[in-house]
Homo-oligomer: A and B are copies of this chain.
């Protein structure tokens, strides 16, 4: 019998999506959910609430639940260092964990994944356990890019590639050849709201435009997969854009059914595309 899937759950809807999808296949799950961050609904599955410092507890719980594979999923907001209270397991692994924390924000999640692997777990990406959520090559829904969108799409990929070399940028908005917004630390939703404001203030006159989204080169897809969902589609429409291009096989969609329904209703195209070289 296959071992229960361990889910180390941060915030947002994705941990729930994964728990639902996996249990539907008959596989059990065990969730270690971050206190104050994970969705309360996760408690309907076998679970434990954990804090940032309770490393020993997390390892023990996953072992007791006989998990061999773990998925790390959901938003994480890093607490102040002083607010992290290490448990005994954390202290035992202080050297390894210290290196992770000092290694810089970008690589903390990767570091934790590597740490879990040294403890005998396999860390899977969300796309490994819910492959239906991965946006491959091709169009979702009814809308299609128009001929005039191709230039914006190409420019979007160019910006992502130029920035990706500098470890910046998961998304960009291009409209009529103009780059309206580049995502850095603020997140895609926040960026899209900004584009709506730019539109409202008359700062973008082209009637169409596209959100191009993909991972940075070297981004650890085990622990940090770009995601779009129904809200992304609504914000894209509110920003006066015509569609979303995701780098094929590198972006997850949350709640595919609602996503496609809303995209069809709002006439927003969603297409997975292989990034040009």
Contacts and interface: CB of A to CB of B under 8 A. Distances in A.
A40 interface: no
Interface in A179-223: 179-186, 190, 194, 197-198, 201-205
A162 B178 CA distance: 16
Given A158-B166, A168-B159, A184 B185 contact: no
A96 B185 CA distance: 43
B105 A178 contact: yes
Given A105-B178, A178-B106, A186 B198 contact: yes
A179 B105 CA distance: 12
Given A78-B205, A162-B162, A162-B165, A185 B181 contact: yes
A77 interface: yes
Interface residues of A, number: 38
A169 interface: yes
B177 A166 contact: no
Interface string A58-85: 0000000000000000000111100000
Given A158-B166, A166-B155, A204 B178 contact: no
B205 A105 contact: yes
A163 interface: yes
Contact of A202 (B78, B176, B190): B78
Contact of A184 (B78, B162, B176, B181): B181
Contacts of A182: 163, 168-169, 182-184
Contact of A179 (B166, B181, B204): B166
A41 interface: no
A104 interface: yes
7 contacts: A167-B179, A179-B184, A181-B184, A182-B183, A182-B184, A186-B194, A186-B203
Interface of A: 77-80, 104-106, 155, 158-159, 162-163, 165-169, 173, 176-186, 190, 194, 197-198, 201-205
9 closest cross-chain pairs (CB), A and B: A182-B182, A168-B179, A162-B162, A180-B185, A181-B184, A179-B184, A182-B184, A185-B198, A185-B203
